[in-house]
């Protein structure tokens, strides 16, 4: 009997220790990864906690997110959209396979009017056997001289931002969504893209949400176990995420059309980013975003184009961490 008592005590102690370790392992990371640019200034710190009242994230707790409103003008947006249309037709590929589209449709069946599942991308990064690689290519083979004029103009403008210290441009990716379907689950961009991810929104406001990577992974594991034990309908889980976000540690970034968000350091490597499915709004068609809390609605346009610029870390530069 003493052996079993000791085993129970030992197992219980181990479980407590494991829980404590998991708790600290999952905590959001700030200023743990190298930062090659200057500190995030108050004027570019436009991110909020996902919480009642959606409090602004203090600069010292900003993981490396910089926000630039009105980075391109309405006229430049119009010119860029015109430039993107033939590029989409020639190089665009759908990145949602039929079986995944079916899963998304089923998960959205709780909605009054579920949108059409879609995601079109143009990138030099190899993502599909059928894709046609654009002339600017990717990574070490990237050809900046092959970028379309308006995209090249934006790349040059990003480099000229005071306080930023960027290396070589390694990727330009164009994303297109329609029918108010902007869902993008939490993820990290491929490591070969480089140190700095710059997302320019063109024709719709949207909310980009960052989740602490370890916290997100732990939350997923707990939710999976809970779902197996309770037989929870997955649609209810997706609905909850669309209304409450993925974790209680998430932060939101409101990216207006023409605005740009830059992610580097911890925001690049230890936080995921994505866009929630969205919520239905009375009197409006389609799905829409919210910023910080569900009552703070951000209306989407039916279509959204975005251009993602990925810059490497600067050569021979010392970090601030």
CATH number of the domain bearing residue 227: 2.60.120.590
Q: Which of the residue ranges 36-40, 141-145, 266-270 would you say has the lowest mean pLDDT?
A: 36-40
Q: How far apart are CA 178 and CA 176, in angstroms?
A: 7
**225 three-class SS:** helix
Average pLDDT along the chain: 93
Predicted confidence at residue 7, as pLDDT, reads 38
**Residue 23 resides in a domain:** no
Percent of the chain with pLDDT over 90: 83
CB-based burial, 245-260: b 16+ in 10 Å, e otherwise:
bbbebbbbbbbbbbbb
Q: How far apart are CA 69 and CA 86, in angstroms?
A: 27
The residue among 24 and 124 whose pLDDT is bigger is: 124
Q: Is the pLDDT of residue 189 over 90?
A: yes
Angle between helices 234-244 and 213-230 (to 10 degrees): 140
pLDDT band for 205, please (50, 70, 90 cuts): very high
Burial class (CB in 10 A: 0-12, 13-18, 19+), 97: exposed
**Residue 25 resides in a domain:** no
- 33-86 pLDDT tens trace: 999 999 998 999 989 999 999 899 998 899 999 999 999 999 999 999 999 999
Q: Which of 100, 133, 138, 147 is nearest to 119 (CA)?
A: 100
Predicted confidence at residue 312, as pLDDT, reads 98
At residue 201, φ and ψ (nearest 5 deg) are: -85, 140
Q: Is the pLDDT of residue 10 over 80?
A: no
Q: Name residues whose C-beta falls within 8 Å of residue 257's C-beta, 6 or more positions apart in sequence.
A: 77, 201, 202, 203, 204, 205, 301
Q: Is the pLDDT of residue 8 over 60?
A: no
Specify which residues 176 forms β-bridges with: 120, 305
Which structural domain, as residue segments, surrounds residue 211? Answer: 31-311
User: Which residue matches tokens 């490591």?
Assistant: 191
Q: Is the pLDDT of residue 259 over 80?
A: yes
Q: Is the pLDDT of residue 2 over 80?
A: no
Percent of the chain with pLDDT over 70: 95
**Residue 162 resides in a domain:** yes
User: Which pTM does this prediction carry?
Assistant: 0.93
Q: How many CA atoms lie within 13 A of 264 on its CB side?
A: 27
User: Which residue matches tokens 């181990």?
Assistant: 14
- 271-298 pLDDT tens trace: 999 999 999 999 999 999 999 999 999 9
Two structure tokens written together for 29: 């990371």
Assess contact for 191 and 169: CB atoms under 8 A. Answer: no
Domain count, the chain: 1
- 77-120 pLDDT tens trace: 999 999 999 999 999 999 899 999 999 999 999 999 999 999 99
Average pLDDT over residues 167-196: 98
pLDDT band for 4, please (50, 70, 90 cuts): very low
**Residue 126 resides in a domain:** yes
Average pLDDT over residues 140-151: 99
Predicted confidence at residue 321, as pLDDT, reads 63
- 227-246 pLDDT tens trace: 899 898 999 999 999 999 99
Angle between helices 98-107 and 234-244 (to 10 degrees): 80
**Residue 202 resides in a domain:** yes
At residue 263, φ and ψ (nearest 5 deg) are: -120, 125
Q: How far apart are CA 186 and CA 273, in angstroms?
A: 5
pLDDT band for 318, please (50, 70, 90 cuts): confident
Q: How far apart are CA 58 and CA 37, in angstroms?
A: 18
pLDDT band for 12, please (50, 70, 90 cuts): low
**Residue 321 resides in a domain:** no
* Dihedral sign (CA 213, 219, 220, 225): positive
Q: Is the pLDDT of residue 6 over 80?
A: no
Q: Residue 44 CB: number of other CB atoms within 10 A?
A: 19
Q: Name residues whose C-beta falls within 8 Å of residue 187's C-beta, 6 or more positions apart in sequence.
A: 272, 273, 274
Q: Name residues whose C-beta falls within 8 Å of residue 142's C-beta, 6 or more positions apart in sequence.
A: 124, 136, 168, 169, 170, 171
**Residue 316 resides in a domain:** no
Specify which residues 275 forms β-bridges with: 184
**Residue 127 resides in a domain:** yes
């Amino acid at each position: 009997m003493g052996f079993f008592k000791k085993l129970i005590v030992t197992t219980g102690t181990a479980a407590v220790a494991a829980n404590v370790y998991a708790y600290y392992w999952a905590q959001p990371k700030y200023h743990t990864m190298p930062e090659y640019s200057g500190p995030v200034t108050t004027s570019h710190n436009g991110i909020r906690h996902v919480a009642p009242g959606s409090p602004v994230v203090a600069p010292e707790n900003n993981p490396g997110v910089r926000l630039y409103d009105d980075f391109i003008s309405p006229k430049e947006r119009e010119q860029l959209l015109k430039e993107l249309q033939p590029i989409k037709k020639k190089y665009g590929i759908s990145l949602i396979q039929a079986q995944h589209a079916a899963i998304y449709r089923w998960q959205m069946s709780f909605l009054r009017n579920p949108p059409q599942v879609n995601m079109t991308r143009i990138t030099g990064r190899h993502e599909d056997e059928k894709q046609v690689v654009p002339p600017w290519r990717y990574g070490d083979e990237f050809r900046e001289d092959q970028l379309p004029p308006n995209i090249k103009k934006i790349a040059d403008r990003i480099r000229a931002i005071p306080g930023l210290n960027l290396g070589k441009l390694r990727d330009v990716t164009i994303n297109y969504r329609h029918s108010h379907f902007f869902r993008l689950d939490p993820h990290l961009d491929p490591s070969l893209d480089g140190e700095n991810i710059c997302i320019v929104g063109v024709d719709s406001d949207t909310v980009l949400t960052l989740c602490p990577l370890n916290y997100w992974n732990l939350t997923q594991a707990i939710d999976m176990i809970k779902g197996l034990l309770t037989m929870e309908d997955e649609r209810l889980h997706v609905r909850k995420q669309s209304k409450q976000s993925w974790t209680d540690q998430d932060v939101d970034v409101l990216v207006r059309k023409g605005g740009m968000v830059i992610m580097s350091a911890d925001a690049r490597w230890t936080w995921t980013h994505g866009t929630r499915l969205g919520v239905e709004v009375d009197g409006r068609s389609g799905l829409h975003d919210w910023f910080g809390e569900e009552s703070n609605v951000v209306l989407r346009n039916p279509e959204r184009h975005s251009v993602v610029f990925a810059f490497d870390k600067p050569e021979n530069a010392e970090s601030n961490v």
